[in-house]
Chain A
Amino acid sequence: MYNPIPSSLQRRAFLSELGMGFGSIALAAMLQNDAQGQGNPSLEDAALNFAPKAKSVIWLFMIGGASHMETFDPKPALNRFAGKTIEETPLANVLQSPFLENERVVAFDPNNGFIRKEIFPLQVGFRPRGESGLEISDWLPHLGDCADDLCVVRSMWTEDSNHGAQLQFHTGRHRVDGFFPTIGAWANYGLGSLNNELPSFVVMGQPVADCCGGRECHRANYLGPKFDGIPLDLEGETPLAYAKPPTDVLPAEQAGEFELLRQLSSVAARQYPDDEQLRARIQAYELAYRMQTAVPEVVDLQDESATTRQLYGVDDKETSRFGRQMLTARRLVERGVRFVQVYHGSNGGAGQWDSHKGLKAGHSKLCRQIDRPVAGLLKDLKQRGLLDETLVVWATEFGRTPGSQHSDGRDHHPFGFSIWMAGGGVRGGIAHGATDELGFHAVENRHYVTDVHATVLHLLGLNPRTLSLPGRKRLDKEFGHVIHPIIA
């Protein structure tokens, strides 16, 4: 059986035994959390200046660029000006904005990544939801039920006008700059694990395609592979690479081997009492052995009630895939996994949300795939009392143009778009920041992508500015700024 929060004594022993498995900050974080758990706040360590509000993060990423105007940022002006060019509207000056300078391209793409000037009307209606009256698209009715828990940030901007922005959203650096640690890796590095039988940074869903950053969107890069996100595959034969022995190995046979290994390792440990690598390897084998049971157990949804399965849409064809991922995400954070990153809409290329044409058909379908599962996740976390300590983030690499492309789609739009957060210490039922009347530029409380990172780390109790590795200079933009007004 798993033990979600081992006693601080155990954990301390575990970490100091492990020796090299965690950075010193992680160790400090663990001890810190223990201390807090005992009601004895101690704020000595530089990395932990803030009392954590969230223990875990569930990070949902829509691949391809979800339209902000058809999800969380209604712009009735688009209907008013439909068919006109931007120049013909009173808002023509968006085309002169200095913000346009922020755009950086990897390589010129003759087809996509242009400012489309002919205003394309909204493809869906909006209505105020919940007590807060937060406006949410009619394509997301279930999520509308959770309006009072959502904190929408409507003033995001990024640089890459092509899908390298997927990488940029996770590292804070433009694709041309190369690969850097991702937000999940920093959280993992800063906090370490709350669980000794599961990896602390888990990834689900088909990852970003290699055009757009690939698996670098959940890797740790220079922090080292031990902080990489570990993919759990809910579709394939085994959820984790090498997670269980081939079928012709008997459980008792393997147990015998592990027991012999443990005995031989003890002999070695007595002979080499100062060999830290040996000790770390012994620990790694113990964790590995437990993971073999814990990983299949966590992805096995059999013991979830019919009500719960229904809540997530697990048994409905359209919502089954994402529903199972959401339900598994809840099971993971319940067991103390720190960071769960879930991709939606990967298609081996730019991503399904990339609606250059047929936006109405495409987005309405994709919204149906995520609506019930994400709402189910929020409701379920809430009813189990987990929403307060679990931060859910919904994001995408950029928004879409107010103007039309191919008559019924929208192009890439890095100048203004929306994301939302819920639970984990953020205020609910609010929209923070704003785009202009056309949804073109983020104009009020503008936030670059790393402001989301800074906020996430802050809510986890980390000071993002202290997260760095000697010899690896981080740019100011990589740290971002905490979005304080949205914190409860």
Chain B
Amino acid sequence: MSQPRVYPRSIMGVHVASAVSLCLSIILSCPQAAAEDVNYEQNIQPLLAEKCIACHGAVRQEAGLRLDHGKWIREGGDSGNILERNTGSDADPAQASILLERVSTDDASMRMPPEGEGLPLTAEQISWLSAWISAGAPSPEDEPMPVRPDEHWAFQPPEQVELADFQIDGHGQNATVASNPVDILLLAKLQAAGIRPLQAAEPRTRLRRLYYDLIGLPPTVQQQSAFEADPSPAAWLETVDRLLADPRYGERWARHWMDVWRYSDWDGYKDQVRGSQPHIWRWRDWIIESLNAGKGYDRMLTEMLAGDEIAPQDPDVLRATGFLARNYHHSNRNIWLDATVEHTAKAFLGLTINCAKCHDHKYDPINQEEYYAFRAIFEPHQIRVDRVPGEADTKKAGIPRAYDADLDAATYVFLGGDEKNPQQDHAIAPASPSILNLPFSVQEVTLPDAAAFPALRDFVQREEIHAAEQKLAQARSNALTMQGKESQPAQLELEIAEQQICVAEAELVSLRTRWSADKLLHAKRAPSTPQASLDAAKAAAVAAEQNERIQQAVLAVLQKQNALTTAEAALASVPSADPQATAESTPSETQRKAVEQAGKDLEQALAKLTEARKPLSEDASYRPVGEAFPKRSSGRRLALARWITDARNPLTARVAVNYIWMHHFGEPLVANVFDFGLRSAEPVHRELLDWLAVELMRHDWNLKHIHRLLVTSQAYQRASSSQPAEQMATAKQVDPDNRLLWRMPVRRLDAEVIRDSILFVADSLDSRLGGPEIDFHEGEKNYRRSIYFQHAYEKQMPMLVIFDAAAPNECYRRSQSIVPQQALALSNSQLALDQSRILASRMVSDLQAVADSPLEESRRFIQTAFEILLNRKCSPEEQQLCLRFLEQQAAMLGSATLSPSQDQENQHTAAAEDPNLRARANLVHTLMNHNDFVSLR
């Protein structure tokens, strides 16, 4: 292939009218591939995988053609051989290849991949194919056969390998290993690769890592010293157990799971709720509490998906369905349900079912109908806000929760995913994806009376009746006060006060009677209850309510009468008309109009009274004391929860342990945490992943059990680097990406953890648990943990956003960027400055008592600052640098004019006027900006 071949420009995906310079650049940039440069495994296979195998591969075989194995490519499809035509033996096969023709033709209707299914091949890619075909389309003899979709690793049940089969050589530290399965499985791979892992990290480094990973806060100086004095495995284990029992564990890990479960506070413009729900913080608190209580992961998932079906009367459990309420979208039900489908499948199953919304899944064996079958599981559900004791107004407080509102809601396939094109001739039944081949059985759930008619809950009646009684008592006391007044009020006003008592009484009676009737109607009753007693209760309620209306109408008449009297008196007292004034604007004219209006109002009130007194028809109804909801729930979501948490489901536990692993070891075992489908290759550490998944299920899905297993491994306690660096040379050469975990990767702290740490080191952190979300604007003044602040679209603390806080809409994995804005935030935020000053002042006063000399005091200050902020001792070199800094900085500050801070009203901590103290605050502030403050080594 020494002759450059000229291709029609359209092949290159370039507009024909392109300028000359453009063509030139393409020719320069797309040299012809020579056969010897083209390799099946490096060029051809990846190209076909990207462009073709969605339709010509394991999942689908359009035109009977598969392009995912050399043998099949050479075999061809329904139309025969695609690599050559029988045009004569001397022709270059590439010239006549159907494959080449189809990928390079100008005819858009013939070109592969088809329009909208992928971009056309580039000239260079076409030249690879051409060269490869000319060379006879060779592929390795031992090319593995692609697996059938149902043989994909992640769709097979996980199993625990026999650990005894793994022989770990007993050299060095490894001699004592072999007890923790994590180490056994990792060491087996390391030894096979000839890599010696690094030693355990320094005690302080390890302790910092453990504290941050389990509770999201650093150890104190005392905790560091204690562990340094006794860094035994027993002490480590004791610390692990203590931290797992610490309520801050729940706060730390809730934030991780909230990323995956898409926690978001409500968003919207002014008061309009556009996404998620007010009071959704109750779900956040449920997450924290559940984690702290060691609730099983299976139970947590079940409560989130179907809490209303398994515990319809338990408000604590109902909070969990915030997982569903979070998907609420004000303008479009399809957006709402699409989000529910997409993120339920991604979060719990690691399946991208959402890719099958518009067409069959390109890579996984999930067809479009299965997408809508999954949607049908959620079709009946809606969101409502349950009243909570102590607050009748659900705008002010409540529990947003899911319930099935319409058990007959139909689901249709949308043609091409377009909601304008529902295929209404065929309703889709709820079902789970068939690939996992597990039973999915839906059984309707009959709800308790108080779940369908929430006013039946005791506290609701108690509070409502109490409020009516209070109103009555108030009316009585008002009337008494009025009668006792020295200046006797007008008769009419006394009558109004009396009537207000009548109204309150009538309201109370009406409320009680209606409650009785609603109880009979909505609560379970003996089957023998005669229809007559139902009718009687209803009639009584109707009558009591009529009386309530009559009493209110009487009150209105009295009030209007009073208004008329007042207006008449005002008119009578108007002085005689000013001759200069025009007729329309004289005071008397205004007053006359007021009298006229008051007269009309009175007439209307009288008419209403007459109306209220009219006898009611037989079938008159009354106002129920609360809203009624369906008495049954479809049971679809519960069926889904059972299916997801079925011990035979191969995905659920694997997905969960993959997240836990990621947060302890920096990198997940399966790289794409939300896609375990066919695009996800079998992980290097599959045996480990599977072992942990089975372990999770065998231990009642207890997450703390997995944490304990991971953090007590030697792998977790390894150093991230060694001195001298040469010790790492072999490992770096063999495994530069640390896939075998021969070292612990260095990680950056999460956004929330950075803010919390700044507050914690200064002893400022407000450690109260739970409660309504806090305005994100308060982030630098309110010292609660970051998890309690608003986290919603357009409502996030800027400092957290700068440090890659989760995007509220979707964040299965955070990025760990390093950008200058982070440096600006740490060096210039009031938060960091305030806390530096607070911490420095406290340290200075603590140290004054113990230090003998100013130099000694400075040394101790530096040492302690390193321990508090960086959780390590400072090196002699660092101490020298800091000592010199304190000296120079104090000198500089001493010669400058230091004015006290002006900004008192914003509760900021003023900069010290004493140059020495201020220099110390500067040192603390510098260490807050140190790489080690935001990093875990």
Contacts of B925 in A (CB 8 A): 257
Cβ-defined contact, B794 with A242, below 8 A: no
**Counting CB contacts under 8 A, is B855 at the interface?**
no
Cβ-defined contact, A256 with B892, below 8 A: yes
Instruction: State the CA gap A51–B903 with chains docked (Å).
Output: 53
Binds B, one of A116-124, A144-152, A283-291, A400-408: A283-291
Instruction: State the CA gap A44–B25 with chains docked (Å).
Output: 10
In A23-65, the 8 Å CB interface with B consists of: 43-44, 46, 49-51
**Counting CB contacts under 8 A, is B29 at the interface?**
yes
Instruction: State the CA gap A274–B911 with chains docked (Å).
Output: 38
When C-beta atoms are compared, the residue in chain A nearest to B932 turns out to be: A268
Binds B, one of A131-139, A314-322, A434-442, A480-488: A480-488
Instruction: State the CA gap A240–B13 with chains docked (Å).
Output: 42
When C-beta atoms are compared, the residue in chain A nearest to B823 turns out to be: A288
The contact of B902 among A248, A292, A481, by CB within 8 Å, is A248
CB distance from B872 to the nearest CB of A (A): 11
Known contacts A210-B267, A256-B885, A267-B877, A246 near B13 by CB under 8 Å: no
Contacts of A130 in B (CB 8 A): none
Contacts of B672 in A (CB 8 A): 471
When C-beta atoms are compared, the residue in chain B nearest to A479 turns out to be: B119
**Counting CB contacts under 8 A, is B878 at the interface?**
yes
In B890-937, the 8 Å CB interface with A consists of: 892-893, 896, 898-903, 908, 910-911, 918, 922-923, 925-926, 929-932, 934-935
Cβ-defined contact, A465 with B13, below 8 A: yes
**Counting CB contacts under 8 A, is A9 at the interface?**
no
Cβ-defined contact, A214 with B793, below 8 A: yes
**Counting CB contacts under 8 A, is A244 at the interface?**
yes
**Counting CB contacts under 8 A, is A8 at the interface?**
no
Instruction: State the CA gap A254–B748 with chains docked (Å).
Output: 24
Known contacts A224-B817, A484-B18, A106 near B892 by CB under 8 Å: no
**Counting CB contacts under 8 A, is A260 at the interface?**
yes
**Counting CB contacts under 8 A, is A129 at the interface?**
no
Cβ-defined contact, A476 with B119, below 8 A: yes
**Counting CB contacts under 8 A, is B882 at the interface?**
yes
Contacts of A244 in B (CB 8 A): 828
Instruction: State the CA gap A243–B827 with chains docked (Å).
Output: 9
Cβ-defined contact, B22 with A50, below 8 A: yes
Instruction: State the CA gap A243–B798 with chains docked (Å).
Output: 13
**Counting CB contacts under 8 A, is B6 at the interface?**
no
Find the residue from A264, A277, A289 having the highest chain B CB count within 10 A.
Answer: A264
The contact of A215 among B21, B794, B802, B901, by CB within 8 Å, is B794
Cβ-defined contact, A225 with B25, below 8 A: no
Contacts of B225 in A (CB 8 A): none
Q: Mark A205-234, 1 if CB is under 8 A from B, else 0.
A: 000011100110000000011100010000
Across chains A and B, the number of contacting residue pairs, with CB separation under 8 Å, is 191
Contacts of A257 in B (CB 8 A): 827, 922, 925-926, 929
**Counting CB contacts under 8 A, is B10 at the interface?**
no
Find the residue from A277, A476, A479 having the highest chain B CB count within 10 A.
Answer: A277
Q: Mark B799-814, 1 if CB is under 8 A from A, else 0.
A: 1011010000100000
Interface residues of B, count at CB 8 A: 81
Known contacts A257-B925, A278-B931, A267 near B881 by CB under 8 Å: yes
Instruction: State the CA gap A471–B671 with chains docked (Å).
Output: 11
Cβ-defined contact, A252 with B892, below 8 A: yes
Cβ-defined contact, B119 with A274, below 8 A: no
CB distance from B676 to the nearest CB of A (A): 14
**Counting CB contacts under 8 A, is A20 at the interface?**
yes
Contacts of A248 in B (CB 8 A): 899-903, 910-911
**Counting CB contacts under 8 A, is B527 at the interface?**
no
When C-beta atoms are compared, the residue in chain A nearest to B18 turns out to be: A484
Cβ-defined contact, A465 with B119, below 8 A: yes
**Counting CB contacts under 8 A, is B825 at the interface?**
yes
When C-beta atoms are compared, the residue in chain A nearest to B26 turns out to be: A49
**Counting CB contacts under 8 A, is A281 at the interface?**
yes
Contacts of A79 in B (CB 8 A): none
Known contacts A179-B809, A484-B19, A487-B19, A288 near B827 by CB under 8 Å: yes
Instruction: State the CA gap A21–B815 with chains docked (Å).
Output: 12
Contacts of A106 in B (CB 8 A): 331-332, 335
Cβ-defined contact, B26 with A481, below 8 A: no
Cβ-defined contact, B25 with A281, below 8 A: no
Q: Mark B751-788, 1 if CB is under 8 A from A, else 0.
A: 00000000000000000000000000000000000000
**Counting CB contacts under 8 A, is A253 at the interface?**
yes
Find the residue from B13, B816, B824, B910 having the highest chain A CB count within 10 A.
Answer: B824
Cβ-defined contact, B746 with A277, below 8 A: yes
Known contacts A107-B331, A179-B809, A277 near B828 by CB under 8 Å: no
**Counting CB contacts under 8 A, is A1 at the interface?**
no
Instruction: State the CA gap A291–B15 with chains docked (Å).
Output: 42
Instruction: State the CA gap A247–B930 with chains docked (Å).
Output: 23
Cβ-defined contact, B824 with A292, below 8 A: yes
CB distance from A73 to the nearest CB of B (A): 23
Cβ-defined contact, B332 with A291, below 8 A: no
The contact of B926 among A245, A261, A465, by CB within 8 Å, is A261
**Counting CB contacts under 8 A, is A272 at the interface?**
yes
Cβ-defined contact, A476 with B828, below 8 A: no
CB distance from A246 to the nearest CB of B (A): 6
When C-beta atoms are compared, the residue in chain A nearest to B886 turns out to be: A260
**Counting CB contacts under 8 A, is A346 at the interface?**
no
Q: Mark B219-249, 1 if CB is under 8 A from A, else 0.
A: 0000000000000000000000000000000
**Counting CB contacts under 8 A, is A241 at the interface?**
yes
CB distance from B405 to the nearest CB of A (A): 20
Known contacts A225-B801, A253-B893, A288-B824, A176 near B332 by CB under 8 Å: yes
Instruction: State the CA gap A273–B934 with chains docked (Å).
Output: 18
Cβ-defined contact, B25 with A49, below 8 A: yes
**Counting CB contacts under 8 A, is A178 at the interface?**
yes
Cβ-defined contact, A253 with B922, below 8 A: yes
Contacts of B922 in A (CB 8 A): 253, 256-257
Cβ-defined contact, A277 with B793, below 8 A: no
Cβ-defined contact, A225 with B794, below 8 A: no
Contacts of A16 in B (CB 8 A): none
The contact of B830 among A21, A246, A260, A274, by CB within 8 Å, is A246
**Counting CB contacts under 8 A, is B95 at the interface?**
no
Known contacts A260-B881, A263-B881, A484-B19, A43 near B28 by CB under 8 Å: yes
Contacts of A349 in B (CB 8 A): 269
**Counting CB contacts under 8 A, is B833 at the interface?**
yes
Known contacts A245-B827, A265-B931, A274-B725, A253 near B793 by CB under 8 Å: no
Q: Mark B823-844, 1 if CB is under 8 A from A, else 0.
A: 1110111100100000000000
Instruction: State the CA gap A399–B827 with chains docked (Å).
Output: 46
Instruction: State the CA gap A475–B60 with chains docked (Å).
Output: 21
CB distance from B415 to the nearest CB of A (A): 14
**Counting CB contacts under 8 A, is B684 at the interface?**
no
Contacts of B934 in A (CB 8 A): 281
Cβ-defined contact, A243 with B824, below 8 A: yes
In B19-47, the 8 Å CB interface with A consists of: 19, 21-22, 25-26, 28-29
Q: List 9 A-B contacts (CB under 8 A).
A: A21-B819, A107-B331, A242-B825, A264-B878, A264-B882, A264-B930, A281-B818, A282-B931, A484-B17
Additional A-B contact list (15), CB under 8 Å, known A242-B827, A257-B827, A261-B930: A43-B28, A49-B25, A225-B801, A248-B899, A250-B896, A250-B898, A256-B885, A260-B926, A264-B926, A265-B930, A275-B746, A282-B931, A476-B119, A484-B17, A485-B17
Top 5 closest A-B pairs, CB basis?
A107-B331, A288-B823, A288-B820, A242-B824, A287-B820
